[in-house]
Amino acid sequence: MLKKEISDVLRHNFFFILLILLLPAFLVVARILPNQSYFSVFFPIFQFLLFFWAFFMGISLFSVERGQRGMEYLLSLPYSRYKLLGMKILPRFITILIFYVIFLILYLGEGSNYAAFALLSFSVIYFSIFLISLSLSTCSDNFLVLFVISLFSLFIYLALAYFIFWAAIKAKGFIYYTLRISRFFTGEIDTILVMLIPIIGLLLLLPLMVASGLAIKKFDLRPSRVYNKRYLKYFVPLFLAGVIISFLLAYQGVDFGYSYYYLTQDLKLIEHNHYFGFKIYDGKDVHKIKIQDYDFDPFAEEDNYVYAESYDSILKINMSDYEAEILYHPPKGRHFTWPRKVGKTIAFMENKRGYSDRQLVLFDIPTQKVSRIPLDIESLKGYSSLSLFGADKSKGKEFWFMFAWSQTKGRGVFRLWEDGKPEYIKDTQVFPLYIRPYLITYSENEIVISKEKEGQFETTRKVPNSKGYIFLGMGYWPWFWTEDLGDVTIKEIFGHKYRSKEEREKGPLYARLDLETFEIEELSDTKKWLYCFGPNEYYFEDKDYDAGTFAIYRFQEGRSELIRSFRISFKKTFYPYGIFEGGIVLERGKKVKVYAFPDLREIKFKKL
Amino acid sequence: MSQNIVDVENLSLKIGKKKVLNNIHLQLRKGEAVVIAGRNGSGKTTFLKCLANVIFPDKGTITYSEKVSKEKIGFISDQVSLLENYSLKQGIDFHKDVYQIKDFDDSLLRELKLDLNQKIKNLSAGERILFHLSLIMAQKPEILLVDEIIHAIDPYIREQFLEAVIDLLEGDQVTLVMINHTFSEIEKIPERVLIMEKGQFIVDEKSEALGEKLKKVISETEISEEAPCIFKRELSHFREYYIYPYSEELKGKFPYDYKDVNLNEIIKAFIGGQYAQKRNQ
């Protein structure tokens, strides 16, 4: 019997192979598709016909016997239905596999970067067609009816699979994720969906296959409706179960991915996820802001507003009425970096792709007026990097400090006036700092302190710095804008220097620069990373990956005092927490906890 | 005493709303020759197909003796289902492979002078039946199921077929279950007669016993309504009454001239009676 089946399948395959080889040849030779190579015509035809062949292999299970009026003879043979089915399916399945392997070899040989996603989709459809048509092959004696039913079932199956994903995404609260069909072929879908596709595809196919397997045990010569009734008796409950389980799996599996948290100075928690926008927890409630953006990097807070940089826009979030607006969006083809707020102005560098047409952009918040100062001018030519690091006024005119870097011209400080004229100030070996009234630059082994006198920055002091400490601000990170300090006088700043490669994990060495005596004092009682949130607000963070702990210390008058330590897992990410001016946000698995400075007491947020 | 070779218990089957087989109980012994008769649509063929494993019942069981393997069940029907595009040789090879037959006796085929390279679909109905029978005979079946093939074949092939069947029956080698409508040529074959009506066996008797229990009365006048008449036929000048069950006591009560009838007429009487009943409903 198996020999007969193999012979039947081989005979069918012979004609199929002839068709796929000769049809492209005909199209090329007859110049129906002129100027095409044989393979370029052959491959898409082959790919398309494979779907048809998978379908045919499935529904042709009993076609030979039906065509030869041999069904009664076949069913009277001394085999159980399962054995009969097995002998029929085996050669057909092997055929499908062999053609699939041939397709893989030809397809992957093309070397397309998107092969993986289109291939996954093709594979799902290819094997689904086979399994669906196989499962339905006994539902009718009429080949045409089988063809229509199978095609219809395939359509329902694919639509249902798509709908389940769509429903799970919607039920989960995704707002900004669209499930376009093209995503399945172009690789735009997320990894988790890619993994779920074959699982859910199989779950939806299983009812068909299991119902067939159960119903075929009593497959006989009675009218198809008898078999179909038995088939449906098994299929309907299995199908419903399959749909429910698939939905639950999709719902569980579809993940928002990573959310970014930000704790404001007044202890409100902002959660950003590019699938649902923003959620703001005020302790009692959660407020949703539906605004889509792919990134969220706050850079300023003032008067109940949070200003943040996104992937391609600047956002302003109103923390009173929980509204958000896009303040600025660069023109098409332009890209900006590192916006900073100074008073009512947001300043940032912007350029075209390829780092051309550089400009200093000044966005006036109240009027939303945009001013642009071109930077591709003669005096700035040749500097491949221009970075803002300070702003101030002199004689009533605004200016902006820029650190300019060039491989040929070296590194230096420019002052860019509000009228667009750049003024070269001095060289610096390392990224400089401006803390009114001092401009801090670096020479070979010295820190150069300059001060403006009659419109010029003159060196007032050179501080020996043989160990090479770098003072980037009032702490290791971030540096800040002078004007935001108001009338506060900064008396000290902290610098760091990296240890040797072997000791790098201990964290940097720290030193203090007194801005009255200009003496550098190396610090001993330090921990790994220094944070500064304002004058006299210094904290050290000390983490131990192996032990799964991190601790926060207050740093005052040269001493580190432990505030609190936490146990945390670093397995999934090295940054399971964020340190903000208001406190710390800690992520433990699916849970988020918030601890507020100064004592890091836990604060609860409802609905978090 | 022969053991049961087939046990049928509570067999029921429905097609749509129609109950085709209705709670059938039956035991068949080794070497028994059984004929099943009944009017069209009574369920005979369906029952035979259940025995052949071609159709599955909804309820009930069919249990074969442990000594009977599936390869030893031969089934041949008037639909003569074979793989038509095969040549005779291919058909023989296929059958030999499936039933693990070592030797194939092609004497019947040689009798008909059939070319082994011709396709099965090119055979006449009678030739196909004999070809199929050759295949089944090669299996050396222990159970032979035959469904209404006699009427489809010419007298010569019919004779060949019946001789082959009789050969098999000799020495209790095979249990035969045969569905037939005409019994003139096979009267001597069946030892047991089953008559089916509405999916049930309404008669299950030995042939001889049935001949004793069913008699015919020919009368010009009406006979008593109390006489157990299963079928009445009105001819031009007289009537025929078929009395069942007949007994000596009945003769005493209804003193008519009772005549013996052959198996063919017995079956007709039962079937005719079923049609008459249906008309009267």
Last residue of a domain, one of B206, B225, B255: B206
Q: How far apart are the first and last CA of chain B?
A: 44
Give the domain CATH number at B54.
3.40.50.300
Q: Which residues contact B35 (CB under 8 A, 6 or more apart)?
A: B178, B179, B180, B183, B186, B189, B190, B192, B193, B194
Q: Which residues of A touch B (CB under 8 A)?
A: 1, 3-4, 64-65, 67-79, 218, 220-223, 225-226
Q: Any idea which residue has 């194939």 for tokens?
A: B104
Taking CA atoms, B186 is separated from A466, B35, B74, in Å, by 124, 10, 19
Query: A82 to chain B nearest CA, in Å?
Result: 14
Q: Structure tokens of A332?
A: 């098409």
Strand B33-38 vs strand B192-197: parallel, antiparallel, or unpaired?
Answer: parallel
Q: Are residues B212 and B201 in the same domain?
A: no
CA distance B65 to A416: 106
Inter-residue contact B45 to B139 (CB < 8 Å): no
Q: Bigger pLDDT: A91 or B16?
A: A91
Report d(CA A336, CA A360) in Å as an integer. Answer: 9
Q: For residue A108, how far is the Cα from the chain centroid?
A: 26
In chain A, which stretches have pLDDT less than 50?
Answer: 113-114, 474-479, 482
Residues B74 and B158 in one domain: yes
Whether the predicted model's global pTM rises above the 0.95 cut:
no
Could you write out the DSSP letters of every residue in A562-582?
A: EEEEEE---SS-S-SEEE-SS
**Average pLDDT value for residue range B105-125:** 83
Q: Is the same domain home to B103 and B64?
A: yes
Return the amino acid letter for B43. G
Residue from the list A67, A69, A218 with its beta carbon closest to the beta carbon of B81: A69
Number of domains in chain B: 2
Average pLDDT over every residue of B38-49:
90
Q: Which of A586, A585, A582 is nearest to A598 (CA)?
A: A582
Express each pLDDT in B155-214 by its tens digit: 887 787 788 778 777 766 789 999 987 777 677 778 899 999 889 998 898 888 888 888
Query: Measured between CB atoms, which of A68, A76, A78 is closest to B85?
Result: A68
Instruction: Verify that B238 and B191 share a domain, yes or no.
Output: no
pLDDT at A505: 78
Tell whether B273 and B174 lie within a shared domain: no
Mutation target to probe the B interface, by most B beta carbons within 10 A, among A1, A69, A83 is A69
Residues of B in contact with A75 (CB under 8 A): 53-54
Q: Same domain for B241 and B198?
A: no
With CA atoms as reference, report the closest residue to B134 among B159, B152, B161, B113: B161
Per-residue pLDDT of A363-396, as tens digits, reads: 999 999 999 999 988 888 888 888 888 888 888 8
Restricting to B residues 34-93, those with a Cβ less than 8 Å away from any Cβ of A are 49, 52-56, 69-71, 73, 75, 77, 79, 81-86
pLDDT value of position A479: 47
Residue corresponding to tokens 């990410």: A573
Asked if B98 lies within 8 A of A1 by C-beta distance, the reply is: yes
CA–CA gap between residue A529 and residue A241 (Å, rounded): 53
B260 shares a domain with B136: no
C-alpha atoms less than 13 angstroms from C-alpha of B263 in its C-beta half-sphere: 26
Instruction: Give every CB contact of residue A153 below 8 A, 6+ residues apart in sequence.
Output: A132, A136, A208
Q: What is the pLDDT of residue B221?
A: 85
Q: Note down the domain range covering B225.
A: 208-280
pLDDT value of position A499: 84
Place of tokens 């249902």: A160
Assess whether the previous peptide bond of B245 is cis (omega < 30° from 0).
yes
Other Cβ atoms within 10 Å of B101 Cβ, number = 18
CB contact under 8 A, B52 and A76: yes
Q: Are residue B190 and residue B214 in the same domain, yes or no?
A: no
Asked whether the beta carbons of B197 and B272 are under 8 A apart, the reply is: no
Which residue blocks in A30-62 are alpha helix, DSSP H? 38-59
pLDDT at A475: 39
Last residue of a domain, one of B153, B173, B206: B206
More confident residue, B57 or A66: B57
User: With left for phi above 0 and alpha for psi between -120 and 50, is residue B159 left, alpha or beta?
Assistant: alpha
Q: Do B158 and B226 belong to one domain?
A: no
> For an interface test with B, which of A68, A79, A84 has the most B Cβ atoms less than 10 Å from its Cβ?
A68
CB contact under 8 A, B69 and A78: yes
The answer to whether residues A112 and A104 touch, using CB atoms and an 8 Å cutoff, is no
Report B:93-122 residues touching A (Cβ under 8 A). 94, 97-99, 121
Of B175, B206, B237, the one marking the end of a domain is B206
Nearest CA in chain B to A74: B82
Q: What is the pLDDT of residue B164?
A: 78
Give kind and range of the element (H or E) at residue B194.
strand B192-197
Count CB pairs under 8 A between chains A and B: 62
Are B109 and B184 within one domain? yes
Q: Are residues B201 and B254 in the same domain?
A: no
**Residue B194 and residue B138 share a domain:** yes
Q: Is B15 in contact with A220 (Cβ distance < 8 A)?
A: no
- Residue pLDDT, tens place only, A234-256: 999 999 999 999 999 888 887 76
Q: How crowded is the C-beta side of A139, counted as CA atoms within 13 Å? A: 26
